[in-house]
A and B are shown apart, each in its own frame.
Chain A
Amino acid sequence: MNRNNFLIHVALAIVLILIAAFAGQLNRWRKEWKSKVHIMPSAEKKRASTAEEISLAEGRTFGRPEVLVKFKPGVSLETIDELTSRFHDRVEDRIENAPGWDSIDDLDNGDVTEVVAQYLALPEVEYAEPNMEIRLDAVDAPPLVPVRPADPRFEDQWALANSGQRGGKEGADISAMRAWATTTGSDKVVVAVLDSGVDYTHEDLAPNIWVRPASLAPYHDNELGTIEDVNGFNAIENESDPMDDNGHGTHCAGIIGAEGSNDIGISGVNWKVKIMPLKFMNAGGYGTTKDAIEAINYVIDRKKAGVNVRIISASWGSTQRSRALEDVIRKAYDNDILFVAAAGNASTNNDRSPHYPSSYNVPNVISVAALDRHDQLASFSNYGVKSVAIAAPGVDILSTWLGNEYEEKSGTSMATPVVSGVAALIVAEQPRISVDELREKVLASVDPLPALKAKIATGGRVNAAKALE
């Protein structure tokens, strides 16, 4: 290396060191500034604007320490200026409507209590106190009041509110009433119930059934042609009518979104939502993988066309793996659609004997186990610490049935729509949430249960209220 090159390298090194030092100092200044400024979260700001919600947070100041000082009558302004200068302070403000009171700014950034003590020691001072920050004290925020729906059979819905009815464990529920203090759902959120169809004429469901908007073109598939879909799709007959002739799909739909507080029957996890009925299982309650795929394709098509379908609820499965089914569920993920699936009812470990579609390792899949009214894993429920994500009530679940009826049914089929319903509540509250965030939020909501420890991944029961926090 010649002398010139050497000098250039030395100069470059010095410049780099100076830049790094300056950047470090900038960072320190930034931290210092941040430590002095209280940035109120937006929610807090919103509440703090309500006068009756404001309380004094004792002893906390913001920015440079300030004290409010009341000088004795007759103390001149010159004397006040001389005293404040002595302490290296300055008069920040003379309070017009409180004669004798001055706001003193401590230029040394000293401890506020010491500054107060300094002034209190002066014979010219009548009183001194910290200038307290006024902000909402979270502890004093009014608690959310649980909301009870006006539905005659709500008392039988232990999954939503377990008061110990029929010998159950009080509190072994999804905290629905607390969740409803935040939101009861939204008719802007569409949940696809991929099942035996839905009895869309059921009086407790009809107002919450999705209807294709007039502005949206009918469903078109290159192989199937154009289908004038009104409420959903029947993949068995490749036609528009998804009427349920079994009852299973109607039961699942009611758990997600039987209209709440309508003085009829039960309440869904969502009082308001839009259910998109899809039929791929027949009157016996079984169907083919191919028809399930056709129905999921329909959902994806409608999503792409602008329908806000965010969740597919899949209360079905088998032990047979299908690559084609896995691929179409992945396609749903690519379109921001959550896929909630039943873990299965064989009392087996899905880590060892997988159950599909719940065991597909696709990022939008949530596999759901079932709990009884005592917060115990249902005797029939599959489990798996790696492959089953969450648990929800799934034994003796009352919901809608064919012909304006209601029935109690058990299975991971019943636990699955509970989780789908909670996901729909989250979307109602956070319409722009991504599928990854939605899945994470559902899983993070759980109440840990001893019975689920080392049995399922989260070790807990879904909690609707926590999911909305």
Chain B
Amino acid sequence: MALNKEDAVKKARKDLAQRLKIDDNSIKEQSVDDSDFPDMSLGAAEDGEMSGQMITRGWRIRLNANNQSYEYRADKNQVRLYRFKGKNYRV
């Protein structure tokens, strides 16, 4: 099922709460912006992953928790965590 912006933000918050083992309510939404990503893994490919080299429209979601900033990238097909401790994750 295709994701919309709200679904994507909800999914990102839930993922971050689980990773940091904190309450969802303690996560602040810094910004959610429309964005063009360089490829179909939204410029956040996992190890061993290849993606179509087509400019892909989506949303850049910035969340804040424990005074740290975290970036999620999403489009209608997927949500990804960008460079979390040096690695990308498909959520």
A residues with a Cβ closer than 8 A to B are 195-196, 246, 248, 251, 280-281, 283-290, 292, 315-320, 322, 342-347, 380, 409-414, 416
A286: which of B47, B52, B55 is its contact (CB, 8 Å)? B52
Contact A286 B54 (CB under 8 A): no
CB contacts (< 8 Å) of A317 on chain B: these are 50-51, 53
Residue among B38, B56, B77 with most chain A CB within 10 A: B38
CB contacts (< 8 Å) of B38 on chain A: these are 344-347, 380
- Per-residue interface assignment for chain B, residues 37 to 55, with 1 indicating a CB less than 8 Å from any chain A CB and 0 otherwise: 0111101010111111111
Contact B54 A288 (CB under 8 A): no
28 contacts between A and B (CB under 8 A): A246-B40, A246-B52, A248-B54, A251-B54, A281-B50, A285-B40, A286-B40, A286-B49, A288-B50, A315-B53, A315-B54, A317-B53, A318-B49, A319-B45, A320-B45, A342-B53, A343-B53, A344-B38, A344-B53, A345-B39, A346-B38, A411-B53, A411-B54, A411-B55, A412-B53, A413-B52, A413-B54, A414-B54
Q: State in angstroms the CA–CA spacing of A251 and B40 once bound together.
A: 14
Task: Give chain B interface residues in 19-72, CB to chain A under 8 Å.
Answer: 38-41, 43, 45, 47-56
Contact B48 A316 (CB under 8 A): no
A323 to chain B, nearest CB (A): 12
Residue among A280, A319, A345, A346 with most chain B CB within 10 A: A345
CB contacts (< 8 Å) of B39 on chain A: these are 285, 344-345, 411
CB contacts (< 8 Å) of B56 on chain A: these are 285
Across the A-B interface, give the 7 residue pairs with the lowest CB-CB distance, nearest first. A285-B40, A345-B38, A411-B54, A342-B53, A286-B51, A284-B77, A413-B53
B24 to chain A, nearest CB (A): 25
- Chain B minimum-CB-distance residue to A368: B53
Please report whether the interface of chain B is mostly helix, strand, loop or mixed according to DSSP.
loop
- Chain B minimum-CB-distance residue to A195: B52
CB contacts (< 8 Å) of A195 on chain B: these are 52
A252 to chain B, nearest CB (A): 8
- Chain A minimum-CB-distance residue to B2: A283
Contact A316 B53 (CB under 8 A): yes
Contact A288 B49 (CB under 8 A): yes
Q: State in angstroms the CA–CA spacing of A281 and B45 once bound together.
A: 13
- Chain B minimum-CB-distance residue to A322: B48
CB contacts (< 8 Å) of A347 on chain B: these are 38
Contact B51 A316 (CB under 8 A): yes
Q: State in angstroms the CA–CA spacing of A251 and B56 once bound together.
A: 14
Contact B55 A345 (CB under 8 A): yes
- Chain A minimum-CB-distance residue to B41: A286
CB contacts (< 8 Å) of B41 on chain A: these are 284-286, 318
Q: State in angstroms the CA–CA spacing of A347 and B53 once bound together.
A: 12
A248-B40, A345-B38, A346-B38 are known contacts. Are A285 and B51 too (CB-CB below 8 A)?
yes
Q: State in angstroms the CA–CA spacing of A251 and B53 once bound together.
A: 12
Residue among A251, A284, A287, A344 with most chain B CB within 10 A: A284
CB contacts (< 8 Å) of B78 on chain A: these are 284
Contact A281 B52 (CB under 8 A): yes
- Chain B minimum-CB-distance residue to A409: B54
Contact B51 A318 (CB under 8 A): yes
- Chain B minimum-CB-distance residue to A284: B77
Contact B54 A285 (CB under 8 A): yes
A194 to chain B, nearest CB (A): 10
A67 to chain B, nearest CB (A): 68
Q: State in angstroms the CA–CA spacing of A412 and B41 once bound together.
A: 15
CB contacts (< 8 Å) of B50 on chain A: these are 280-281, 286-289, 292, 316-318
Other A-B contacts than A285-B56, A320-B49, A380-B55, 11 sampled, CB-CB below 8 A, are: A283-B77, A285-B40, A285-B54, A288-B48, A288-B50, A317-B53, A343-B53, A344-B53, A410-B54, A411-B52, A414-B54
Contact B51 A320 (CB under 8 A): no
Q: State in angstroms the CA–CA spacing of A53 and B40 once bound together.
A: 55
Q: State in angstroms the CA–CA spacing of A201 and B37 once bound together.
A: 29
- Chain A minimum-CB-distance residue to B48: A289
Contact A320 B47 (CB under 8 A): yes
Q: State in angstroms the CA–CA spacing of A336 and B48 once bound together.
A: 27
B55 to chain A, nearest CB (A): 5
Contact A285 B43 (CB under 8 A): no
CB contacts (< 8 Å) of B47 on chain A: these are 320
Contact A284 B40 (CB under 8 A): yes
A250 to chain B, nearest CB (A): 11
Q: State in angstroms the CA–CA spacing of A393 and B51 once bound together.
A: 20
